[in-house]
Structure formats: structure tokens, C-alpha cells
Structure 1
């Protein structure tokens, strides 16, 4: 292996971080507040404790896990007040991202967003809430790429992950999903029209709707593990 190839190889800590993050955010293995078995997962992922704890430190900084001395590591628990604060922050950041996207989008960007809308519609037609959650997240990430602001993107990606981890299993009705998809369509229309004011307004209203839905759907003590959660 050449020196150049070695220099581009991910570190064990980076590999552990990516693998552990995927385990916590995807599938139904862990519910909000669950203890994360660090030693067991280190063996499963084939890494030593050192890179595993490096990964956990990064996830703690992102707000995805909570480390309790002498008690262990836990996936972030559901916290209504914290979730409300996350949505307040998301409203401001997503509003600005939408404004920038409307100012900077090209024809290819709009076409990509329209393909995402079609994918979301297909998920709704199939009544696949998990696939819709994935498609909706990809839509928001596409808007961030068009906005082309690395700071906003970094902050929102962390907030998206926290929302997804905290709200896993919260039920969402088909009607709620349809409203969200319509919000996305209105946002694409504003971006296509290069209307920053309208794009920001639509994005803010959309996030307020997500927050209201989360507030009405606080999880029961025995959280079901069938869906990955909200946008």
C-alpha cells in the first residue's frame, strides 16, 4: 500500500464512529433512553475500546448519546422541552437554508428536488412510513446542499440526528405525512420561482408543524419500535 493510500484510509476511530452512529439511528435495535453496551459493541464492530470511546465522545458532542459516570452510555432519551428547543432552532436555520437555496438553485437542483417529491409520493402511496422518513430526510439534505452553507448544514445535520434518535417509534398518521409532503412541494415551488421570502416562510411553517405534531405525540412508557421517527 502506498503512503498516499494509507493517508486517505479512515482511522479506526472514524470507522467506529460511522458504524456506531448507523447502529443507533437506523433500524429498531435501540429505543430512546436505552443503554448502549459499549464493550459488547466494540467486540461486534471489531475495534478496541479506545477507538470506541473516541466514537462515543463524538456522538456525545452531537447530542446523540448521554454518558452517565458509573452508569454507562445511553441513547438520547425523549425530552419534550429539549425537543421543543431543537425545533425552535431548526425553524431559524431551515428558514435561512431555504432562503439561500431559493437564491442559489439551478435547473438541475430544482429537478433533483422534484424527483425527491415523486419519491415521497411513492412512499405515501405504499403507506411506508419508514421509507418516507428516509426520503424526507434526503429532501432536507438536498436543500442544504443547494443552500451551500457548510455551517448551517453541520448544525442542522446534528439536529436532524437528535430528532430522529429522540423520536424513534413515535406514531405518525398518513394525513400528517401527506401534509409534510405538501409542505415540501410548496418549498420546491418557491425555490423554482427564486422567491427567497416565500421559501423561508414555507420552511418555517413546515418546521412549526413538525414541532406541533411532536408535541401531540409524546411516546408512551413502552415505546413501540416499528418506525424510525419524525423528520
Structure 2
């Protein structure tokens, strides 16, 4: 499986992601500058965290116009895999590959912490290595991570089971205290209707190396390795 990691001006988690896919997973990985347009050799495209274009205007608003994003849309439409983490999730909502928006955290503070997440679905390539309702711990680091959408969009997400990860407490309970940024419905990660595009605010690549004694994010990547690839 070949991974492509998009690099925007201001990306700062691209090397972390490549370290996991190339050095920990042992998979072919290519760093892709945002002005490139060819993704034909990639099975999985990753839009990493960071501050694309300095987060000017709003997070992801300028990155959506980069030349590579047209190719990312085509890649997704072909049924191939796209992962957006943190700023990457913001970019995916801006470009329309995922619904909703990521706005300022409830308390207007940047949050850097490790938080529990409940895995809501395990029938997806992204989550098949987890167990149903498993509670995992993944780092977060964002100032604009509060998921927001209108009522109809939220209902559609719930009805279609597109919510993949929710913020919770250590026992899987959804409490106000366990929702670090005020996301509606405790949403931490969602997929598109076909399940090949995943956006999430927490950073699985920061919990994928045994040297860090944090590996709850590693299963997200290993689950992909056993799935058939789109042609």
C-alpha cells in the first residue's frame, strides 16, 4: 500500500505522519507538495495537521484552493482512501468532502491533551482493528476543533452512522466534562457516506509508536493494510 502525505505551507505534522506510515508500518510513502496534481500512484492520501497557510481567513479556507485538492477530490470519488487529521479534517470540510465545520473551541482556548475516544463503528477499513465501543486514548492539539453542523446534517450523520469517534470519559460515557471542545454530539471524527474519507481532530499518528508507550492510534493504520485497493 502506498501513502501520500500532502504538504502545505504551514503543515507541521506531515513528518510525524510519514514516520508512522513509512518507518513504523513499513509502507511506501511519498511527501506531496500542495502544488502537485498527480496522485495516481497513491492508495491512501493523508492531509496532516498543522496550520496550512497560517490558518488565515479560517482554518483550511485557503488550502482548499491548492492545486492538489482537485486531485484529492477525484481520488476520493474513485473510492480510494483519504484521511484528514486536525487541520486536515478542517480542510476536508472546507472542500466539501465531509459535511459540517470545525469552529473555535467552546472555551476559546487552544487545547493540547490526551483524551478518551469511543469507537462507534468497527465495520470500516479505518476501524476494523478495534472492538465495538472500545475506548481509546488519542492526543488532541487544536484551537478550532469544535464540530458544528445544522440539525439536518447532524441527523443525517447519525442516521447514516457516519460518526466514527466521539469524545467520552474513561468508561465510554458521554458527559459534558468529557467533551473537551464542545463539539456537537461529542463528535471527534466522521466519514463520508461511502466510508472511504475519514476526518478526525485527534492525532492517531501521535499514538502509534511503542517507544512513546502510546499505540491506540496504530490500529487505525493497520486496519487499512488488509483491505482491497480501489483500481
Instruction: Kindly indicate which of the two structures has a greater share of residues assigned to helix.
Output: 1
| More RCO (CA 8 Å, sep 6+) | 1
Q: Is TM more than 0.5 here? A: no
Instruction: Kindly indicate which of the two structures has a greater share of residues assigned to strand.
Output: 2
Higher-Rg member (1/2): 1
| TM-score normalised according to structure 2 size | 0.24
| TM-score normalised according to structure 1 size | 0.24
